[in-house]
């Protein structure tokens, strides 16, 4: 079938079961070919092809709501809803989002790049339906790692109690989040999955018998279980539990979904799928390397990006810094399900008793770290900046309020290429600059970033070390022993202040254009370097503060407030991201240009002072 010709899911009703199987095969081929060129979430999407086709086959009314948790597994959904022809623009500027996106399609009913929100969203849609809104069936599709999150359980606890409507929860159990699922719920799902023989028997039961016989067997099973076991948490929460079933068998998927659609009770359907199915290298990947991947060679599975000697990502260098520090110092490292992205697999192999992957549970990770620090234990937490937002309350109340020494490494800080609005690291400084006791820093290059993560352990109180999703050349190790700012270039026309790799980018702009400005690397965003700021204010020269964060709560705002409090009146220009802005999909270069933070825009702003 020509995948690019698909306009809407309506065509599925005209296909026979064997044609649906061919369609699933064609979709897999299409996904592998396209993602190998653009990059994207590969393994998660390959695993849910049949499940997604079945969902659109059974729940085919325009007012039905299919809610994909996170949304990174919605590529087949995008294809079936007419977006295949745009897949060559996936994750590019003005192109197709890597997640569900309201602006792309009427079929994208819930937009969230963060996990475990889908059942809460379902609750809202069902309440709206109960109040008279024209809404059909509401289905949440959530993974086995995401459902273990506290928010998902809060929603499960509530949604089955809504009277007059029927929630349907699809549990996509592939034993993986980004990497392998962890924790007690993972063990529970393994037990519920039972054996292949048991799952095969259930599949045969569905295929061979008419619906009323299957329903009769299901009721007998429920009655027997009521006497002999009480270990199905979903049934205890009020759901009629179906499963586990083979989520990669299109016949089985459709039959089970049709049963759920005909039911009047809250349903939870447990499908077991194979992450990466159809591409052997993704199928065999237990680390999560094919969860999110850049352009790659289909034959070898290797990335098309070739790293030069001494070229590393910030994630890798930070992980190396932690390993080096661990050689002579005991500490505990906590990570919420981003072990691969944070490059912590080597640390885990070398120091297995010093690292804990707590699953998709940022809030839990932060409070646990706070309790360890309260016991005078050295502890660090690594996560993505965008996921740190979920731990705001725990960081504020359980760590910052009591001035507990927890080192927090925030990966993907600043603007992030290709990920869209839900995955931008532009809010963490605003979040934490209003909290008591928090120190925030960011290195201008790999060596500074590595030095800062080590130095953070020698400080007191909560320390945040920010670093970007970026690859650079590593030169040589350095040491950092204070929180002072650094002057990178002396000039007489004014001061240009930034941090992270922007500090060196600004240095290059000034030097390459022979601009007469002092460039300052404010590698400690908080606390402010009061001594240097005093000399800056006294000079009376113009001040420019350039940042890849939202304006409110930024370093520029902190400097402005500090200047006003000391009754100085220097002209100050804050160049950052307007707080009410929407950051769409695009490369970092394109996003910088959108917000007038690119080299040319900065140069044009600076020469106004020189003229």
CB 292 within 8 A of CB 424: no
Q: How far is CA 507 from CA 147, 526, 556, in A?
A: 47, 21, 18
Question: How many whole angstroms separate alpha carbon 297 and alpha carbon 286?
Answer: 19
The SS3 call for residue 103 is coil
In 3-state terms the chain splits into helix, strand, coil percentages (rounded to 5) of 45, 15, 40
Q: How far apart (Å, rounded) are the C-alpha atoms in residues 592 and 602?
A: 10
Q: How far apart are CA 475 and CA 302, in angstroms?
A: 26
Higher pLDDT, 224 or 572: 572
SS3 string, 331-364, reads CEEEECCCCCCCCCHHHHHHCHHHEEECCCCHHH
Sheet strand arrangement including 439-442:
355-357, 332-335, 379-384, 406-411, 463-466, 439-442, 524-526
Average pLDDT for residues 234-245, to the nearest whole number?
93
In 3D space, the residue among 5, 27, 93 whose CA is nearest the CA of residue 586 turns out to be: 93
Q: How many other CB atoms sit within 10 Å of the CB of residue 217?
A: 14
What mean pLDDT is predicted for residues 194-220?
56
What does the pLDDT read at residue 446? 98
Are 499 and 558 in contact, with CB atoms under 8 Å apart? Answer: no
Per-residue pLDDT, 292: 87
Contacts of residue 93, Cβ cutoff 8 Å, sequence gap at least 6: 584, 585, 586, 587, 590
486-610 adopts what CATH topology? Answer: Rossmann fold (3.40.50)
Instruction: Find the helix or strand (DSSP H, E) in which 261 lies.
Output: helix 250-262
Instruction: Give domain limits for the chain.
Output: 3-10+17-283, 311-473, 486-610
**d(Cα 99, Cα 416) in Å, to the nearest integer?**
14
Residues 381 and 369: beta-carbon distance below 8 Å: yes
Q: Per DSSP, which regions of 474-538 are E strands?
A: 486-489, 494-498, 518-521, 524-526
Q: How many angstroms separate the CA atoms of 242 and 230, rounded? A: 15
pLDDT tier for residue 210 given thresholds of 50, 70 and 90: low
User: pLDDT-derived band of residue 305, with 50, 70 and 90 as boundaries?
Assistant: confident
**Comparison of pLDDT for 319 and 211, the residue scoring more:** 319
Is the predicted pLDDT of residue 179 greater than 80, yes or no? no
- pLDDT category at 189 given cuts 50, 70, 90 is low
Residue 126 has pLDDT above 90, yes or no: yes
Q: CA triplet 503, 506, 507: central angle to 5 degrees? A: 85
Comparing 9 with 419, the larger pLDDT belongs to 9
Please state which of the ranges 42-46, 86-90, 304-308, 315-319 shows the lowest mean pLDDT.
304-308
Residue 365 is predicted with a pLDDT of 97
Mean pLDDT of the 308-319 span? 95
* Same fold? 3-10+17-283, 486-610: yes
pLDDT for 137 beyond 50: yes
Please tell me the predicted confidence (pLDDT) of residue 229: 47
Q: Which long-range contacts (CB under 8 A, 24 or more apart) does 578-582 make?
A: 578/550, 578/551, 579/430, 579/550, 579/551, 579/552, 581/550, 582/421
H-type alpha helices, 263-331: 280-283, 314-328
The answer to whether 572 and 560 have CB atoms below 8 angstroms apart is: yes
Other beta carbons less than 10 A from residue 339's beta carbon: 23
187 pLDDT exceeds 90? no
- Distance, in Å, from the CA atom of 203 to the CA atom of 436, rounded to the nearest integer, reads 57
Residue 233: the pLDDT is 87
The two structure tokens encoding residue 270? 């447990």
Q: What is the pLDDT of residue 181?
A: 54
% of the chain beyond a pLDDT of 90: 85
**95, 92, 128, 91: which is closest to 110 by C-alpha?**
128
Pick from 593, 484, 598, 604: nearest CA to 93: 593
- The percent of residues in the chain predicted with pLDDT above 70, rounded, is 91
- The tokens for 220 are 């007998």
**CA 259, CA 296: separation in Å to the nearest integer?**
40
How would you label 408-441 residue by residue, b for 16+ Cβ within 10 Å and e otherwise?
Answer: bbbbbbbbbbbbbbbbbbbbbbbbbbebebbbbb
Q: Tell me how far CA of residue 308 lies from CA of 57, 65, 109, 275, in angstroms.
A: 48, 47, 43, 31
Is it the case that residue 355 has pLDDT exceeding 60? yes
- In the predicted model, what is the mean pLDDT of residues 442-471? 98
pLDDT of residue 360: 93
Other beta carbons within 10 angstroms of residue 172's beta carbon come to 26
pTM above 0.85, yes or no: yes
Mean pLDDT in residue range 532-543: 97
- The architecture of the domain spanning 3-10+17-283 is 3-Layer(aba) Sandwich (3.40)
C-alpha span between 388 and 424 (Å, rounded) = 11
Per-residue pLDDT tens over the stretch 21-73: 999 999 999 999 999 999 999 999 999 999 999 999 999 998 999 999 999 99
Q: For position 519, what pLDDT does the model report?
A: 98
- Domain 311-473's class? alpha beta
Which of 144-153, 187-196, 380-389, 466-475 comes out lowest in average pLDDT?
187-196
> Is residue 174 predicted with pLDDT exceeding 80?
yes
Confidence class of residue 112 from pLDDT cuts 50, 70 and 90? confident
The 8-class DSSP code of residue 307 comes to P
CA dihedral (170, 175, 176, 182) positive or negative? positive
Once rounded to an integer, what is the mean pLDDT over residues 391-399?
98
At 138, is the pLDDT very low, low, confident or very high (cuts 50, 70, 90)? very high
Average per-residue pLDDT in the chain?
92
């Amino acid at each position: 079938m020509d995948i690019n010709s698909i306009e809407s899911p309506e065509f599925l009703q005209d296909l026979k079961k064997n044609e649906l199987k061919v369609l699933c095969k064609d979709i897999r081929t299409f996904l592998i070919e396209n993602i190998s060129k653009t990059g994207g979430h590969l393994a998660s999407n390959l695993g849910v092809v049949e499940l997604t086709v079945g969902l659109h086959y059974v729940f085919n009314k325009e007012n039905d709501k299919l809610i994909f948790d996170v949304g990174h597994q919605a590529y087949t959904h995008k294809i079936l809803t007419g977006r295949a022809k745009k897949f060559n623009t996936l994750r590019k500027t003005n192109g197709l989002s890597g997640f569900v996106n309201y602006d792309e399609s009427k079929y994208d009913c819930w937009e969230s790049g963060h996990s475990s929100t889908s059942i809460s969203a379902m609750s809202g849609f069902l309440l709206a339906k109960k109040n008279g809104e024209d809404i059909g069936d509401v289905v949440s599709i959530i993974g086995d790692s995401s459902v273990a999150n506290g928010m998902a359980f809060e929603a499960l606890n509530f949604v089955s109690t809504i009277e007059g409507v029927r929630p349907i929860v699809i549990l996509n159990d592939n034993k993986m989040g980004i990497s392998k699922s962890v924790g007690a719920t993972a063990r529970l799902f393994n037990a519920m999955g039972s054996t292949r023989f048991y799952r095969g028997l259930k599949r045969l039961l569905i295929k061979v018998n008419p619906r009323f016989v299957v329903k009769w067997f299901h009721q007998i099973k429920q009655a027997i279980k009521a006497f002999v076991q009480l270990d199905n948490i979903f049934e205890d929460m009020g759901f009629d539990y179906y499963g586990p079933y083979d989520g990669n068998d299109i016949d089985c998927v459709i039959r089970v979904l049709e049963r759920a659609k005909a039911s009047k009770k809250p349903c939870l359907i447990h499908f077991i799928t194979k992450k990466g199915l159809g591409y052997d290298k993704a199928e065999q990947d237990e680390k999560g390397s094919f969860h999110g991947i850049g352009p790659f060679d289909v034959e070898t599975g290797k990335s098309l990006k070739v790293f030069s000697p001494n070229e590393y990502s910030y994630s890798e260098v930070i992980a190396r810094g932690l390993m080096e520090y661990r050689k002579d110092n005991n500490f505990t490292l906590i990570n919420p399900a981003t072990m691969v992205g944070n490059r912590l697999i080597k640390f885990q192999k070398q120091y297995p008793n010093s690292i804990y992957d707590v699953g998709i549970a940022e809030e839990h990770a932060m409070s646990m770290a706070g309790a360890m620090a309260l016991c005078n234990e050295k502890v660090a937490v690594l996560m993505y900046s965008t996921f740190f937002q979920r731990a705001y309350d725990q960081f504020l109340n359980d760590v910052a309020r009591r001035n507990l020494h927890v080192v927090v490494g925030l990966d993907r800080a600043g603007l992030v290429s290709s990920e869209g609005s839900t995955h931008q690291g532009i809010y963490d400084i605003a979040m934490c600059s209003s909290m008591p006791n928090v120190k925030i820093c960011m290195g201008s290059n790999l060596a500074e970033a590595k030095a800062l993560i080590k130095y953070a352990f020698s400080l007191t109180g909560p320390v945040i070390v920010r670093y970007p999703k970026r690859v650079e050349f590593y030169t040589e190790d350095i040491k950092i022993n204070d929180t002072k700012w650094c002057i990178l270039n002396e000039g007489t026309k004014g001061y240009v202040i930034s941090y992270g790799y922007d500090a060196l980018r600004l240095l290059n702009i000034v030097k390459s254009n022979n601009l007469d400005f002092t460039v300052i690397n404010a590698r400690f965003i908080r606390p402010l370097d009061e001594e240097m700021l005093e000399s800056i204010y006294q000079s009376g020269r113009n001040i420019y503060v350039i940042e890849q964060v939202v304006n409110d709560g930024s370093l520029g705002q902190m400097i402005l407030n500090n200047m006003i409090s000391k009754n100085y009146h220097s002209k100050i220009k804050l160049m950052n991201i307007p707080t009410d802005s929407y950051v769409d999909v695009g490369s970092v270069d394109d996003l910088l240009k959108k917000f007038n933070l690119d080299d040319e825009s900065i140069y044009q702003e600076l020469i106004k002072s020189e003229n």
